[in-house]
Amino acid sequence: MGTALDYRTPWELLVVTVLSAQTTDEMVNKVSPRLFETYPAPPDLAGAKVADVEAIVFSTGFYRQKAAAIVALAADLVDRFGGVVPQTLEELVELKGVGRKTASVVLAEAWGYPAIAVDTHVKRVAGRLGLTSATDPVKVEQDLKALYPRQRWSELSMRLIQFGRDVCDARRPACSECELDGLCPWPDKPE
Ligand code: SF4
């Protein structure tokens, strides 16, 4: 099980993960082919006019911030890493606009290293299932890493994200149809 974002290289995954904030993967998949056709490699995007990038990523929402972010990210990647996406969490989070969640997605998906990306779904579902009592994403990540063997980290993260989207919705969790209902200690299940 992997991300629903379309990508061909670690570089493309890095960019589409940044674009996926506050929108759906489907929406990102609609704009990314044109984006990478226009700017195939980091130096191309680093040299792009932000306004031109805005026009391409417009429908993903927050387009001004996202366009500026991916152009700055490309420039940073070229300047400090020769345009090559790093393979460690420490280096990835040094990149402009790349947080721990995005870095973990790239590590797990693009490079195949064990990593747990904690997004809003992972945080919510892990909390409801009693896998963590933390709300800070770094602490949630640590708690999950302590509970599961390394070889399951990446898959766990993707499964929790999908489960949060499909079943354990933020506002309307489908508890009556949930296979984990008997194990789930969350006290606020809807009647
Ligand atoms: S029982 Fe409800 S709250 Fe618990 S995991 Fe399933 S959907 Fe989420």
In the set 101, 123, 139, 188, the catalytic residue is: 101
Give 68-100 as a DSSP string: HHHHHHHHHHHHHHTTPPPSSHHHHTTSTT--H
Question: Do 173 and 189 touch, CB atoms closer than 8 A?
Answer: yes
Cα-to-centroid distance, 169 and ligand 1 (Å): 8
Expressed in angstroms and rounded, the spacing between residue 135 Cα and the centre of ligand 1 is 18
CB 30 within 8 A of CB 19: no
Q: What is the dihedral of CA 145, 112, 95, 165, to 10 degrees?
A: -60
List the residue whose alpha carbon is closest to atom 1 of ligand 1: 181
Q: Which string of b and e fits 25-58 if b means at least 16 CB within 10 Å?
A: bebbbebbeebbeebeebeebbebeeeebbebbe
Tell me: the pLDDT tens digits for 112-132?
999 999 999 999 999 999 999
pLDDT tens, position by position, 151-184:
999 999 999 999 999 999 999 999 999 999 999 9
Q: Which of 30, 44, 79, 119 is catalytic?
A: 119
Distance 110 CA to ligand 1 centre (A): 30
User: Side-chain half-sphere of 159: how many Cα atoms within 13 Å?
Assistant: 7
Q: What is the pLDDT of residue 3?
A: 79
Residue ranges and CATH numbers for the domains of the chain are 10-109 (1.10.340.30), 120-177 (1.10.1670.10)
Q: Per residue in 17-69, pLDDT tens?
A: 999 988 999 999 999 999 999 999 999 999 999 999 999 999 999 999 999 99
Ligand 1 contact, 173 CB (< 6 A): yes
pLDDT of residue 1: 61
Does 101 participate in catalysis according to the annotation? yes
- Is 173:167 a contact under the CB 8 Å cutoff? yes
CB of 4 within 6 A of ligand 1: the answer is no
